[in-house]
Amino acid sequence: MRKRILVLVASAFVLAAFAQAAGVTLDVKEHVLGNGMKILMIPKPGVPRVVCHIYFQVGAINERPGITGSAHVHEHLMFKGTEIMGVTDYAKDTEIDRKIDELMGKIYREKYWKTDGDPVQIAAWQKEFDVLVAAEKAYIIKDDLWTRYMSNGGTGLNASTSQETTGYYVTLPSNKVELQMLLESDRMMNARFREFYSEKDVIMEERRLSENQPGFFFGEQVNAAFYAASPYHWGVIGWMDDLKKMTKQDLVDFHNRYYVPNNAVAIYVGDFDPAAIIAMAEKYFGRIPKGPDLEPIRTGEPPQYSEKRLYGEGPAATSLQMMFHTPPDGHPDTAALSILAGTLGSGGGGFRGGRGGGGGTGRLYKNLVRDKQLAVSASASSRPQWYVGAFQFSATPRLDKGVKPEDLEKEIWAEIDKVKKDGLTEEEIQKAKNKDEAGFIRGLASTAGLASRVGRADLKRGWRSILTDLEDLKKVTNEDIKRVAAKYFVKDNSLTAIYTRKSGR
């Protein structure tokens, strides 16, 4: 149930071009159930294990102010039982649970709707609440689903929520895939969000863990400033106010809207016979009624028409970030931006999830870290998300040499100007293509990684987009590189964030 902010779109680039070059292909077997749910299968005979993942096309971007964080809260609640799981007497439990919700409804109104709520009344209700929660424990089987999976050899047991998708994972012995089909279809249909209020406390602790990471608050402001209108404005964890005030009904509505089979993809990778998987999927997932069609996100990011700058201080390393709006995944410029990020900041580092990095072979490392010795690290990355993209430069200055973030900003603009004028070298472009090809092959070797990449890609543009993106990447020319650099790397399209180490928050 850990939150991971995801980045798979970028790595997905690599898939198919090399498939032809090396005679290796990505072979995904597909089956669509009558209710619209898609079953994808990648058989890999050998060790008798099967990676079983389910992805839903729902994430933080499907929220709105007031319920930010609810995609992630909902993901946690999916582990809190159903009509058959996690409960000894469903009728009796439901009765108590209804009373708990009623009471909490009164407390929330007193606490959050009024400016002068009565603390004595709240305390009295809170006592009643504690009594009911204690009584409900008699009917709750703690973490039943989790125990059931683990005692059957489930590993990699987890779930994660990103801006765009939510995934539920388990790897099982290959004779026990039916358990996953039963438990997952059951919680799609019959989820009951018991222990909602204590779980919200857990999630607020999760948010505090993030808050205690040096520089978190500044990063949150930078993100919010960069995305003024689009729902990428808030983080997956959500604002603390919304976490406090969201109700169980908010989550029930969220579930009913998004956890429908026509919004889901199940993927299996490992040692199995596809015919058996299909038969089981028909039996378990096939019984869930289809839901209404879901409208894509409406709000894009309007043009800035002016440069944004943010300054912050706190207990983290002095650093520079420069961000530029770029088009979403699937746009014709995405491939050139990916090559650019890889070439400028290649080798690891940078912000996770994007192409690029800050290692030893990128231009930024060679020029700013190695030769001029102005930076401790310098990286670039491109993140083509589903609805709005971002390209980011990050660097930390050599304080021992008196270098300031603003000095690095000038240096990075000089590198950008070089690219606008001359583009990249042929060797650099070829290197980027080689790396993507090799990455594609290497990606096929994993099981969980492959499931995640293919399953997520399928939700939005179909898994074959992995192959067409790679074809697009092979076609990128130096003219494309110069063109996209000139188009996107302009001040009116940018946010520059400068952070300086100071003690205190």
Binding residues among 68-97 for another protein as defined by CB under 8 A: 79, 84-85
Angle, vertex CA 232, rays to CA 227 and CA 235, nearest 5: 110
Three-class SS of residue 267? strand
Q: For residue 49, what is the enclosing H or E element? A: strand 49-56
105 lies in the site for another protein, by CB under 8 A: no
157 lies in the site for another protein, by CB under 8 A: yes
Site residues for another protein, window 36-65 (CB under 8 A)? 44-49
239 lies in the site for another protein, by CB under 8 A: no
Cβ(405)–Cβ(414) below 8 Å: no
Cβ(351)–Cβ(322) below 8 Å: no
Cβ(163)–Cβ(36) below 8 Å: no
Judged by CB under 8 A, the residue of 101, 110, 250, 271 near another protein is 271
- Closest residue by Cα to residue 388 from 4, 9, 3: 9
Report the C-alpha gap between 42 and 454 in whole angstroms: 10
Residue labelled with tokens 């038969």: 279
Cβ(69)–Cβ(243) below 8 Å: yes
143 lies in the site for another protein, by CB under 8 A: yes
176 lies in the site for another protein, by CB under 8 A: yes
Cβ(434)–Cβ(142) below 8 Å: no
Cβ(261)–Cβ(294) below 8 Å: no
Residue whose CB is less far from another protein, 399 or 414: 399
Task: Give min distance, CB of 94 to another protein, in A.
Answer: 18
Size of the site for another protein (CB under 8 A): 97
Judged by CB under 8 A, the residue of 40, 71, 322, 444 near another protein is 444
Site pattern 199..218 for another protein (x: CB under 8 A): xxxxx-xx-xx-xxxx----
Site residues for another protein, window 284-343 (CB under 8 A)? 284, 287, 315-317
Sign for the CA dihedral angle at 34, 83, 85, 204 comes to positive
Amino acid type, 371:
D
Residue whose CB is less far from another protein, 127 or 331: 127
228 lies in the site for another protein, by CB under 8 A: no
Residue whose CB is less far from another protein, 156 or 291: 156
361 lies in the site for another protein, by CB under 8 A: yes
Residue whose CB is less far from another protein, 228 or 438: 438
Task: Give min distance, CB of 199 to another protein, in A.
Answer: 7
Site residues for another protein, window 446-505 (CB under 8 A)? 447, 501, 504-505
